[in-house]
Structure 1
Amino acid sequence: MAIDINCDLGEGMPNDAALMPYISSANIACGFHAGDEETMRRTIALAIEHGVAIGAHPGFPDKENFGRTEMQFPEEDIVSIVSEQIYIMLDLVFAMGGKLQHVKPHGALYNMSARDSSLANAIANAVKDIDENLILFGLSGSKSIQAAESIGLQTANEVFADRTYSSDGNLISRKEKNALISDVSKMEKQVLQMIQEQQVTSIDGTIVPLKADTICIHGDGEHAIVFAKQLHQLLHDHHIILQSFMR
């Protein structure tokens, strides 16, 4: 059994270098919701050094709210916003001798596309038009995954080590006090349930089926480094191989 661990990086947090040894895929901010060219270059270099697969992490152009506030754009503008960020990352990765493996939308863009088919289609088509070999990371079983699969893109169903779930399989909003998991043992229990049983227990006790291809740890999380180390050890203890999708 194998699993990918991904982490949102290049967002101006001090944890990037410390997290790299414990993950297999890095989602690197492309400058719209966070980061800049210097940060991108530094994070790409760290990923290459550690053999971590590189992904573009496009978000809404909203640094003030860290890309976590919902915004409305016409579909053609979404395509442009996403495409520009992927090209920025693609050019930098290529220039530094690396390879771009995947695309994972950020924050509000991610959550909106998980439930909105038109937005999901716009993002999926933007990715495919750039490189049909890129993998689209999306919330497990969501509209994002469905849209990508419908046009032949490879997908990675993403689950979360540090977030709680509602009974419909969506993430609990960060506006709610119980949205984040801060207890290590609770995190470990949820991760094992998602990997081994392909399900998660929602906050109201409902058992929700899901597919776990990749597990996310948020690089800006208060417990990011502790969680990453514990999760790495947890996989080792249960003979689960940590590996990216990179071929």
Structure 2
Amino acid sequence: MDINSDLGESYGAWRMGDDAAMLDIVSSANVACGFHAGDPAGILQTLKQAAARGVAVGAHVAYPDLAGFGRRNMDPSSAELVGDVIYQIGALQGLATAAGTRVRYVKPHGALYNTIAQDARQAGDVIEAIQAVDPQLTLMALAGAPLIEWAKERGLRVVAEAFADRAYNEDGSLVSRRLPGAVLHDPQQVAQRMLQLVQTGEIETITGKRIRLQADSICVHGDSPGAVEMARCMRERLLQAGVSLQPFVSMA
């Protein structure tokens, strides 16, 4: 199993999360590309820290929405979205090269992530952009979403992910952040539900019903309060149960 987190999201004097601590826990890092968060100097520092620890790096592409942290819905034209995603991957590739590592996958962020899980047009734009830059890049997508099959049909390798710190609806979608209970904060609860997912392939929804969910990576949001403790507790619980933790992409 892989553990990933959204990192590189600090912006100037605005500090977001604890990248150094999280990089000691995760096996993959989704690094901001400057559109929803992150400044070049901070992103470069995060990439250097990831390289030093052997953590796989992915481009955390987003809508151009610094004020809304990439969590506001947008409807860009296909030309705009393709260009934006290419631009972000390319920027992170340059910084990654300078840091002694490379971009191995792409994980859309926030509103873009949730939109392309179901929206065929925007999903196609993101797939087109990834293939234009490097068709060998892996796409990380929401487990159970139509996007997974759309990307596979276009020849992309796809890795399905589950969210440790987010509540699920019965259809496998994430509960809106606007609703109570959408974000989980108890490290022990988070660790136990992720162990259950790994061992049984099931996760408990916000209504208490269990649903099937196939995932090869687990995300803990780096900006969540107590994110480091949640990630550390989950890692320890999985290792104690004999679960092997490693990046889902080759580091060769």
Note if 1:107 corresponds to 2:110: yes
Which range moves more in the overlay, 205-214 or 163-172? 205-214
Partner of 1:226: 229
Structure 2 CA distance for aligned equivalents of residues 29 and 50 of structure 1? 18
Tell me, which stretches of 5 or more residues in structure 2 are unaligned? Answer: 11-15
Which digits, 9 at most, give the CA deviation of each residue in 1:125-180, with x for residues without a partner?
21112111111001002122122111111111010000000011000010111101
Note if 1:92 corresponds to 2:90: no
Structure 2 CA distance for aligned equivalents of residues 206 and 115 of structure 1? 22
Taking only aligned residues, the RMSD between alpha carbons, in angstroms, comes to 1.1
Q: TM-score, normalised by structure 2?
A: 0.94
Tell me, which stretches of 5 or more residues in structure 1 are unaligned? Answer: none
Deviation, structure 1 residue 14: 4.1
Deviation, structure 1 residue 184: 2.0
1:53-92 aligned within 5 A: 53-92=56-95
1:70-219 aligned within 5 A: 70-219=73-222
Aligned partner letter, 1:202: T
Partner of 1:21: 24
Partner of 1:31: 34
Q: TM-score, normalised by structure 1?
A: 0.96
Deviation, structure 1 residue 185: 2.4
Structure 1 CA distance for aligned equivalents of residues 93 and 101 of structure 2? 9
> Alignment partner of 1:22: what SS?
coil
> Alignment partner of 1:242: what SS?
coil
Deviation, structure 1 residue 245: 2.1
Partner of 2:13: none
Partner of 1:6: 4
Structure 1 CA distance for aligned equivalents of residues 81 and 60 of structure 2? 14
**8 Å Cα contact 1:139-1:157 kept in structure 2:** yes
Structure 1 CA distance for aligned equivalents of residues 23 and 45 of structure 2? 12
Aligned partner letter, 1:165: Y
